[in-house]
Structure 1
């Protein structure tokens, strides 16, 4: 009996090993054909698709970036300060962080909407709710209405912000997927640049329009998104998972092969996509699937860490409370605060775009390690300079803090902007992709809520010494990235899933 069991086990391992080898060969051939394909600008249909992705998918990140820089800018607008009776401390934290509360409340519904009705309708619904929130914010007549409007902005944002990068990753050509998905989050800074300079342009207005104009402009990106979504095809992977494989193949042929029937890469891509998705979808995938296997538990840990690290790296201080940070080093002029805010957002967009393009060359784990260790080094130096200014009135150290802000974001954007959504797209297989993104959004928005609520209290209570909290946390982040983050660069989305789940993979980082 023991011999029979041993023989069966060896036979099973032989079959599994053979299947793994076949999968590896298919993926290698797919990557070879993808790299040999002409660049996207020589494929008319693919270029057309990417141009339509701009109004159809990039806008959610623009809206979030607009909100962040706008709230920073409004803190330098005298009419906003007086209208809401000079909010500070916990109240200011609540006014800023309530957007994260809306996002947290929406996360249980994310996968239900997008998995049932499609990626595009998830984006459209989120954009519609954001548009309502923006209108209410611009029309606010008291603090309660302002808070409700920002809750709605967060509630809608999380739907659009989940399905936009997923749709990009599932539509993009295999050759362009890594860069295309990474470029999504760079549009956060386009919104931030726009908001920073709009508030700079309006902050001297003597009427309430100084803050109502930026608030109402927040509605514009959402309206663009609602129209742009109809210009895009649905995700081929969603179509396959919902019994519409023929439509999925038509989309792949049209955009990935420029309409050429029988293209070798598309045939291989479609076959592999269909095989993996239909196998995975043969059984239901409830929420408990996220912890059902070693591979999924590993993914879940990465999502939790990524969501927390993207908000708790010290970036929350500058993203929402730059005015307060600048005041700790003696920059009290409202005009100078607004100029620094606008200039920093332009620098961030340049760095974020460069970092997204680097994803085609750098390994994922390398980007995360350089980014996190770099932030630790810069934030430590920034804390030292802030201490020298406040304790010894060292003007040069105070000016150095401003330079450190720009250097800090250079390292932050390298990974936590460029890879924030492209990395989870690679890590998560199709059946749990939407649920995994819901976890990422919940952890990110919950971390953002705590972060944004606590930061003004900490700054008000102990000033520059509050930076020491982030120095300690960045040490924790660096250690976690080294030990737990895994490499995903190179293979197709389906092949990455196979690598994650095959026996013995849980012990490997590379």
Structure 2
């Protein structure tokens, strides 16, 4: 069977799994303020709507925990295909929903898929991509999420003109199409060379690396250097004990695990989810109703999409740490600005545009200020924490624990995603603008933590990132470390034919 090795094509189709996440976000956010949805599901109150929205996150939490063992056993590619089938089943259940319970069941099943794809797509792409463009490639996952949000939002907007429940049923049914495409495309993808190495399939490992990085030339110096690094890392990994979940909290792993967990936790606590799931509510507070609200909400998704492109273009030059630190500072300031505008110029109301969950409103120039801050926040989020977190977490775990570690970290993302999706509607109703103060404080907590504990991974192979943690290099000095693989490439190039002989000896030892 023909296999595609173009890393950009692999990323474009592989990240459809991220697009499914985006589809699920806006398939709910676009409908929760519409009369059709509210009438059909009997005007869910703040707690019930929080539960409906959060049900997907609950399924995603479970899916991300299951993803690691599945990926380690069956491979990255087959695991993503399995997730595609789950999504199709969940979409069928969702589109046929006739009650809140039925809808929640479908969203939980969809969430299982999202939990698997959101954790294992970055792992798969990180293990395929060259180190010099790994951030860009893995970051396409976030870009795909944003495309999914935008596409599904406009599909839902168009379907909102269809009278009755047929509108949201059509929108929710169309969610299944990308999963069909992903399932089919994965048949033509190579397996991860790092996973193959973990199964001692060395010939296939070298073959995939050669096709990915040198057009199939197995004697290329860069290919041989990376092959040797992968082999050394696998030998060290195989000699270590304890591959269980508890091993993630062992003496040599706890730092990586806590960094991965909190990178995902802070990403959720910054306040980005408020903008993604409940932007309709936010704009209702700012006095926008009806179609004007929906169109205004779509603008933020376009901003999100465009700013992430800028990051993807430069993240492998700028690095990860500056985006975490400076992005958190700006977003914290914007959260406090929104809280100040709402506190000083807002007033209590009984509801907005038939939505009893929105009980605080700002009008006039201050309302425009709230909208402007919201747009700027989304832009900064798209430039920094939104794509950078997925990239970073996929890089920091060693091969032996990568699938489980990323799965565990992603489960933390979904646990807090669930909590926030459930918390925000009651928060808007009970503490109104004060919710933004909470998110602002979390932003600055994330800044402090990332400055002192998140080492720089930009420009390093996955195996060099292992050494960075093993050597205990302080996070704020980590950007000064030198790539050891570059030195190894130069050595192999200098040796010439000796490098070929060395590789042949490695093969002989492997066969022995």
TM-score by length of 1: 0.87
| SS of match in other structure, 2:318 | coil
How far apart are 1:64 and its partner, in Å? 0.8
Kept after mapping to 2: 8 A contact 1:71/1:96: yes
**Aligned with 1:478 (options 426, 433, 447):** 447
Counterpart of 2:84?
A: 127
How far apart are 1:414 and its partner, in Å? 2.2
Counterpart of 1:100?
A: 57
**Aligned with 2:105 (options 123, 145, 148):** 148
User: 1:299 and 1:393, CA in 2 relative to 1: closer, same or farther beyond 3 A?
Assistant: closer
**Aligned with 1:457 (options 400, 422, 426):** 426
Distance in 1 (alpha carbons) for counterparts of 2:220 and 2:456? 30
1:48 is the counterpart of 2:9: no
1:371 is the counterpart of 2:327: yes
How far apart are 1:354 and its partner, in Å? 1.0
Kept after mapping to 2: 8 A contact 1:76/1:337: no
1:357 is the counterpart of 2:326: no
Kept after mapping to 2: 8 A contact 1:114/1:434: yes
**Aligned with 1:322 (options 272, 279, 284):** 279
Kept after mapping to 1: 8 A contact 2:325/2:447: yes
User: 1:482 and 1:53, CA in 2 relative to 1: closer, same or farther beyond 3 A?
Assistant: closer
1:289 is the counterpart of 2:250: no
Kept after mapping to 2: 8 A contact 1:204/1:210: yes
Counterpart of 1:505?
A: 473
| SS of match in other structure, 1:463 | coil
User: 1:46 and 1:491, CA in 2 relative to 1: closer, same or farther beyond 3 A?
Assistant: farther
Counterpart of 1:304?
A: 261
How far apart are 1:114 and its partner, in Å? 0.4
How far apart are 1:87 and its partner, in Å? 1.4
How far apart are 1:507 and its partner, in Å? 7.3
Counterpart of 1:67?
A: 24
- Once the two structures are superposed, the pairs formed by residues 170-209 of structure 1 within 5 Å of their partners are 170-209=127-166
1:238 is the counterpart of 2:208: no
Residue deviations 1:342-385, cap 9 Å, x none?
Answer: 22111111111111222121121111111100101111112222
Counterpart of 2:483?
A: none
Counterpart of 1:161?
A: 118
| SS of match in other structure, 1:74 | coil
- Once the two structures are superposed, the pairs formed by residues 72-87 of structure 1 within 5 Å of their partners are 72-87=29-44
Structure 2: gaps (5+ residues): 348-360, 479-512
Counterpart of 1:436?
A: 405
Moved more, 98-107 or 81-90: 98-107
Residue deviations 1:154-185, cap 9 Å, x none?
Answer: 11211122211111111112332221112221
Kept after mapping to 1: 8 A contact 2:22/2:148: yes
Counterpart of 1:223?
A: 180
How far apart are 1:394 and its partner, in Å? 5.4
Residue deviations 1:226-252, cap 9 Å, x none?
Answer: 111111000001111102110111111
Distance in 1 (alpha carbons) for counterparts of 2:8 and 2:456? 27
| SS of match in other structure, 1:262 | coil
Kept after mapping to 2: 8 A contact 1:123/1:164: yes
Distance in 2 (alpha carbons) for counterparts of 1:304 and 1:507? 16
Distance in 2 (alpha carbons) for counterparts of 1:255 and 1:436? 25
How far apart are 1:482 and its partner, in Å? 2.3
Kept after mapping to 2: 8 A contact 1:80/1:210: no
How far apart are 1:508 and its partner, in Å? 6.0
User: 1:70 and 1:499, CA in 2 relative to 1: closer, same or farther beyond 3 A?
Assistant: same
Note the aligned Cα RMSD (angstroms): 1.8
1:385 is the counterpart of 2:354: no
Counterpart of 2:505?
A: none
Distance in 1 (alpha carbons) for counterparts of 2:171 and 2:229? 47
Residue deviations 1:60-87, cap 9 Å, x none?
Answer: 1111111112211011322111110111
Distance in 2 (alpha carbons) for counterparts of 1:394 and 1:108? 45
User: 1:107 and 1:182, CA in 2 relative to 1: closer, same or farther beyond 3 A?
Assistant: closer
Distance in 1 (alpha carbons) for counterparts of 2:74 and 2:473? 34
How far apart are 1:506 and its partner, in Å? 5.9
How far apart are 1:260 and its partner, in Å? 2.2
Distance in 1 (alpha carbons) for counterparts of 2:416 and 2:319? 27
| SS of match in other structure, 1:361 | helix
**Aligned with 1:404 (options 346, 365, 373):** 373
Any runs of at least 4 consecutive aligned residues in structure 1 with deviations exceeding 4 A, and if so which?
391-394, 506-509
The count of residues paired between Structure 1 and Structure 2 equals: 462
